[in-house]
Amino acid sequence: MTCEVHAWDLSVRGAHLDQTHAFFNGTSVFLRVLGQESAPCLVELLPPEGKAFAAWRVATSLPPAAGEKGGARRHGFGLYRAADYDELIDHPVEMGTFTLIAFDACGVPHEVAITGRHDCDAERLAADLKQVCEWQIRFFGEPAPMARYVFLVTAVGEGYGGLEHRASTALLCARNDLPYPGMKGLPESYRTFLGLCSHEYFHTWNVKRIKPAAFVPYDLDRENYTTQLWAFEGITSYYDDLALLRSGVIARQDWLDLTAKTLGNVKRAPGRLRQSLAESSFDAWSKFYRPDENTPNAVVSYYAKGALAALALDLTLRAGTRGRTSLDDVMRALWRRFGQTGGGVGDDDLRQIAEELSGLELGRFFAQTIHGTRDIPLEKLLAPFGVRLEWAKAKTPALGAKTASEGDELRLATVYDGGPAQQAGLSAGDALIAVDGLRVTAKNLDALLGRRRPGDTLAVHAFRRDELMRFELTLGAPGDDAPRLDCDKSANALRRAWLGG
């Protein structure tokens, strides 16, 4: 049987083919033969014909079919092998003239294949990634669970995304996020890229091997529902930046700033008071991955709030046991009991393991943090660690909406529940035209609001579709959603064990 696939999706989850390269996930191109999922597969990758493609090679963690006639050499075309269908679809493949960067982490060969135009400083990237990867391998314990590992990076003008696999990850980044020769320090853009690499790499353990019971085995016929995405994405989001700090790639204050940013993002979305982390996890298929203008009002991110829940659990364990037990111990226990055995993690297993290791009673913590919607009391939890959390007020009175500019238009992307814009009758999608009779744009909105005080009423003109409408909007108090984290001067032993000196 022959089948032809339309490949024009340049996302980490699709397949894309043009004259510059080819990228595919097995899920996009390999049909499943019902009843033969456990049979081994051979895949023949053929080079495109023509001189223009003579330099093309292959990057993938799929092993070449050694010993087979026509078996590929490393990075070559030819036959590759997968033990079964599950493995066949878990090794994305890149073909083209990518840059190949190799390094070794704890004896495991690692590669970065970068597709797209870029000026990446290969040495710098290899040195930083090696540090992060080695820290993670040692965190869970040697030997690493994979024989080799490949970062498949597609560099574009603008883009961001990652998808984890058992021995590789597909990443999409802005080419300017990559380090360049002669770059000083660690710009935010590059730090973001390293955070993405760290995140997907941590998944090699947490979700690719330590899996929720609902994913064992994964049912490809339907959505697989679990209340535990907060643990697999949230804990991974907590450790992605923490690994940058603990491996020495970023400084302590950098990490505190990143965490403060997450705190602010969670606080700004009223959906956190409506939906618990367990619900957000379960509804990912119908809500989180189908966002609309009301998502911030209705949904809490199991990534962002999940990372804060992981932080809160870590702090609770460390403070409650005077530093004897931490989330690190829980992760390693999950790895030994589930990751290395292949069993699925049940809904109560994480809590039970944390209780068993710490001797603490955590029923209330899980009820409030994972199944409840109240804000996590991080000020209180951080205090024993000598870390202060302060919420600063925003500089301008509140409009109660998130704006986005589209060309010349200033649109309301989200109108927050109960906020001034909603009370005035404005809706998401409305295009703001004028405030108090003066033209308003993305550029002058903040300056315009900065000259007004909370309680002031503005005349707002906006288009809804093609109808001009007028609103009276009374500005609200500035939001206190700009948090700041810093350490006191004390030599705090708990903090030192957690974040280093």
Given a contact cutoff of 8 angstroms between Cβ atoms, the answer to whether 281 and 230 are in contact is: yes
Q: Which tokens hold the place of 229?
A: 């995405």
DSSP conformation class of 111: E
Residue showing the smallest CB distance to Zn ion in the complex: 233
φ and ψ of 210, to 5 deg:
-85, 110
Which residue, 131 or 204, is less far from Zn ion as judged by CB? 204
- SS3 state of residue 268: helix
Min dist. Cβ of residue 413 to Zn ion (A): 24
Nearest CA to 233 among 162, 315, 324, 339? Answer: 162
Which residue, 233 or 355, is less far from Zn ion as judged by CB? 233
Min dist. Cβ of residue 198 to Zn ion (A): 11
Min dist. Cβ of residue 423 to Zn ion (A): 37
Min dist. Cβ of residue 302 to Zn ion (A): 10
Owner of token pair 């999409």: 172
Q: Which tokens hold the place of 68?
A: 């087979």
Cα–Cα distance between 164 and 172 in angstroms, integer? 12
Which residue, 164 or 279, is less far from Zn ion as judged by CB? 164
Min dist. Cβ of residue 488 to Zn ion (A): 33
The two beta strands, 211-212 and 168-174, are unpaired
Min dist. Cβ of residue 216 to Zn ion (A): 18
Owner of token pair 């702090």: 315
Min dist. Cβ of residue 450 to Zn ion (A): 38
> How many residues are listed for the chain in this entry?
501
- SS3 state of residue 18: coil
Which residue, 90 or 233, is less far from Zn ion as judged by CB? 233
In what side-by-side order are the strands of the sheet with 168-174? 99-105, 108-115, 149-156, 168-174, 160-164
Contacts 24+ apart (CB under 8 A), 313-316: 313/354, 313/362, 313/365, 313/369, 314/238, 314/498, 315/378, 315/381, 315/382, 315/384, 315/385, 315/498, 316/360, 316/362, 316/365, 316/381
> Does residue 217 have a cis bond before it (omega within 30 degrees)?
yes
What does the radius of gyration of the chain's CA atoms come to, in whole angstroms? 25
Q: Which tokens hold the place of 226?
A: 């679990």
Which residue, 173 or 401, is less far from Zn ion as judged by CB? 173
Which residue, 214 or 382, is less far from Zn ion as judged by CB? 214
Owner of token pair 């269908």: 85
Task: Draw the binding track, 66-85, toward Zn ion (x: CB under 5 A; -: no contact).
Answer: --------------------
**Residues 228 to 287: which contact Zn ion by CB under 5 A?**
233
- Burial (CB count within 10 angstroms: exposed 0-12, middle 13-18, buried 19+), residue 143: exposed
Paired residues of 473 in beta bridges: 458
Which residue, 95 or 196, is less far from Zn ion as judged by CB? 196
Task: Draw the binding track, 207-236, toward Zn ion (x: CB under 5 A; -: no contact).
Answer: --------------------------x---
Min dist. Cβ of residue 316 to Zn ion (A): 23
Which residue, 136 or 414, is less far from Zn ion as judged by CB? 136
Min dist. Cβ of residue 370 to Zn ion (A): 18
Q: Give the number of residues in contact with Zn ion, rule: CB under 5 A.
A: 1
Which residue, 350 or 462, is less far from Zn ion as judged by CB? 350
Cα–Cα distance between 143 and 146 in angstroms, integer? 8
Cα–Cα distance between 400 and 298 in angstroms, integer? 15
φ and ψ of 144, to 5 deg:
-65, 150
Min dist. Cβ of residue 199 to Zn ion (A): 6
Min dist. Cβ of residue 90 to Zn ion (A): 15
Which residue, 309 or 399, is less far from Zn ion as judged by CB? 309
Which residue, 177 or 233, is less far from Zn ion as judged by CB? 233
Q: Which parts of this chain interact with Zn ion (CB under 5 A)?
A: 233
